[in-house]
Each structure stands twice: as structure tokens, then as C-alpha cells.
Amino acid sequence: MLRALGILCLGLAGAFGLHLVVSNAVPPYPALIVNMCGISIILAISLNVINGLTGQFSLGHAGFMAIGAYVSAYFTTTLRYFDPDAARYISEAPLFDGLWGFPPALLAGGIAAALAGLIVGIPTLRLKGDYLAIATLGFGEIVSILLSNFRAVGGTKGLTSIPGYADTFWIYGSAATCLILTGFLQRSTFGRALIAVRENELAAEVMGINAARMKITAFVYGAFFAGVAGGLFGHLMLTISPANFGYMKSVEVVVMLVLGGLGSSTGAVVGALILTVLPEALRDVERQVELSGFRMALYALLLVVMMLFRPQGIFGQRELSLKLLRRLLPSRDKPGRQP
């Protein structure tokens, strides 16, 4: 356990180092991209637990992200200290602000998303493959419809003037935590049980592995981190609206996974990096050719070509073992899926 805490601290220290570099030596626009990469990494790793390890197919990750984003932004923008003497909320005194207010707000976002994961996970247990994809897609759409109709969070306009608490440290600290914890999960009896459910659900059940419970666990775990990513996103972009968390966002995360290799956390990281940086690079191209939609079309083409010619993604189910990573987490060498 001490070792585990040590690794987590190391991850946080790394995030802090990156924070120092980014905040002092990187101009704002590239810094924003770096931060977006961190958020994408969290999204991709957490979706990988659901879609990659457990073999479910969720297309609703943006829905969980939205819940996290709204709840945590609601905490930091709207909740105020209550003054019992004056019997009113003190508008100048936010309940969650600054260094001490942000982590609880993020956690609250994550927990709310995890609860949503539980609520989605249970009715969708009986669904497999395509049906599950459609149902989770439906969940994402319902979330955005509900948010659009909910005046307290700004309806279709969303929430604005969210404080910009999410800096590189918080983003990469969360990403490192997510990566490390997911690594621990993968290399435990629960990780094996998740994979067993993916590989052969009936055999897993006959071995006494409660497939339903494992699937829900995966949903809750993945949704929690998606919620955290949402919270970070809100406090990075300063405004959020239901349009940020549409179907396309969910698809984007799926593409990251497929590109990196479903089932591989490190693959998810690489996929997240490529698919966050590449569109930014393409944004200029898109402006030059003056065709809106060009970027997403290329994205889609990439996805289709990938499925046709290298369906296992860049890494397959293998984990990328950087030297450091290998020393810290003795990684199991897992060859890729059979074609």
C-alpha cells in the first residue's frame, strides 16, 4: 500500500512538474491544447475500462462527462455560504472556491456521474453490443435534453463564468491518478474478472464471477472518471453548455480507444493524444480549404480505414511499456488480439 501511495505521489509530482513547465514556458494556446490532452486521457482511460476491459460498448461517455461538468460547476459557481443571522446566502462567499474548494467540487462531479453510471448500468445489463450502444447513446441524448430544459443550469445556454481552477496540475494530477488506479485495477482479481466477462460471459458466471456486478462496477468506475474529466473541462473552458457533450463527443472518445487499441490503457493515452492534437492541427487546414466538416470527415475516414486495415488499433491489447512504467507497474506482456 505504501508503494501504491508512493506511485500516486510520484504521479502527482510529475503533474506538478508539468504544471510548472506549462505555466511558465508555454504560450496560452498550446497550453490549452496540453490541458485538453490531459482531459482526453482521462476520458479515454475511463471508457477503456467499460469498452475495452469489460467488452461493453458504451456510446454515452459524454453524458457522464456532462453530469460531472454541471455538478462540479454548480458547486463552484452557485453554492454559497448560508448566513443564519441574515437568513440568506452570501453571494460574495462561494462555498467551494480556490484550492480547497475545487477538489471537493470535482469529487462531487465524479460521484454524481458514478451514480448516473449505476443508474444506467443496471437497466442496460441485459443488453449486449449494438443494443447497449444504442441505449447508452440514448442515455447521453436524454442527459443533454434534460440539461437543455433545466433552467437552473442555464438551459441550452449552459453555465457561464465558471472559475478557471483547472490548471495543468489538477488535470494531469487527475489523469495520472486515473492511469495508475486503472493500472492497479487491471492487475488485480477484479481486472481479471472484468476481462473474463469480456472474453466469455457464460464461462465467467460458471466460475462464480458475477458478470452483472462486474459490468456495473466497470460502468460506475468509468463514469466516475468521466465525471471528473467533465469537471476539469468546465473549469478549463469557463463555460459549458449541453452542446459540448453531444453524441459526437462520445464518438470522439470511442475513436481514441479504437485508434490506440481497445483494451489497452496506454493505447488509450496515445489515442487521446493523437486525437486531441490532430484536430487542432487540422483546424488551420479546415480554415484554409474553407470547408466546415472537413475535420470530422477526416476523423471518420480514419476510423473506417482503421477498422478495415488494422482493427486492433495501434497497440492491440498490449500495454505500452515505457521503462519507467515497467519498473513501477510490472506489466504483463499481452499479445494482440487475433485478426
Partner 1 sequence: MTSLLETRGLTMRFGGLTAVDDCNLGIREGELFGLIGPNGAGKTTVFNMLTGVYTPSQGSVSFAGRDLRGLGPVRVARLGVSRTFQNIRLFDELSVLENAMTGAHQHAHCRLFDSLLRTGRHHREEARQREIAYRLLAFLGLEDRAGLPARSLPYGHRRKLEIARALATQPRLLCLDEPAAGMNSGEKAELAGLIRRIRDELKVTVLLIEHDMRLVLGICERIQVLDYGKTIALGTPREVQQDRKVIEAYLGAEA
Partner 2 sequence: MLPLLETSDLATRLLQQCANGVAKGSVYALVAVGYTRVYGVLQLINFAHSDVYMLGAYFSYYPAKWLGYMPEGAEKPKVPFYVLGLAFLFAVSACAATGMLIERLAYRPLRNASRLSALITAIGVSILLQNVGQMVFGADPKSFPRYMDQESVALGPIAVADTSLVIIVVAAAMVGALHLFVQRTRTGAAMRACSHDMRTAGLMGVNVNATVSLTFALGSAMAAVGGMLIAMDQPRLTPTMGLLAGLKAFVAAVLGGIGSIPGAALGGLLLGVAESMVGAWNTTYADAVAFVVLVVVLLVKPSGILGKSGREKV
Q: Which of these ranges, 85-93, 137-145, 179-187, 277-285, lies near partner 1 under the rule CB under 8 A?
A: 179-187
Contact between 184 and partner 2 by CB under 8 A: the answer reads: no
Contact between 278 and partner 2 by CB under 8 A: the answer reads: no
Amino acid at 160: T
Q: How far apart are CA 116 and CA 121, in angstroms?
A: 8
Enumerate residues 55-114 that contact partner 2 by CB under 8 A: 57, 59
Contact between 205 and partner 1 by CB under 8 A: the answer reads: yes
The only residue of 134, 192, 282, 320 in contact with partner 1, by rule CB under 8 A: 192
> At CA 256, angle to CA 247 and CA 307, rounded to 5?
95
Return the number of other C-beta atoms located less than 10 Å from residue 150's C-beta.
Answer: 13
CB closer to partner 1, 204 vs 253: 204
Contact between 199 and partner 2 by CB under 8 A: the answer reads: no
The only residue of 32, 138, 310, 334 in contact with partner 1, by rule CB under 8 A: 334
> At CA 190, angle to CA 266 and CA 171, rounded to 5?
40
CB closer to partner 2, 60 vs 173: 60
3-state class (DSSP) for residue 164: coil
Please count the CA atoms within 13 angstroms of the CA of 21 that sit on its side-chain side. Answer: 10
Q: Of partner 1, partner 2, none, which one sits near residue 4, judging by CB under 5 to 8 A according to partner kind?
A: partner 1
Q: How far apart are CA 69 and CA 249, in angstroms?
A: 14
Contact between 311 and partner 2 by CB under 8 A: the answer reads: yes
CB closer to partner 2, 145 vs 322: 145
Q: How far apart are CA 52 and CA 325, in angstroms?
A: 20
Contact between 291 and partner 2 by CB under 8 A: the answer reads: yes
The only residue of 49, 73, 147, 181 in contact with partner 1, by rule CB under 8 A: 181
> What end-to-end distance do the CA atoms of the chain give, in Å?
39
Q: How far apart are CA 65 and CA 332, in angstroms?
A: 31
Contact between 126 and partner 1 by CB under 8 A: the answer reads: no
Kindly state the helix (H) or strand (E) to which residue 240 belongs, with its residue range.
none
Q: How far apart are CA 333 and CA 321, in angstroms?
A: 9
**119, three cell numbers:** 443508474
Q: How far apart are CA 227 and CA 146, in angstroms?
A: 17
Q: Of partner 2, partner 1, none, which one sits near residue 53, judging by CB under 5 to 8 A according to partner kind?
A: none
Which residues are near partner 1 by CB under 8 A? Answer: 1, 3-5, 181, 184-185, 188-193, 195-196, 198-200, 202-211, 217, 263, 317, 332, 334-335, 337-338
Which residues are near partner 2 by CB under 8 A? Answer: 57, 59, 123-124, 126-127, 129-131, 133-135, 137-139, 141-142, 145-146, 148-149, 202, 247-248, 251, 254-255, 258, 262, 291-297, 299-301, 303-304, 307-308, 311
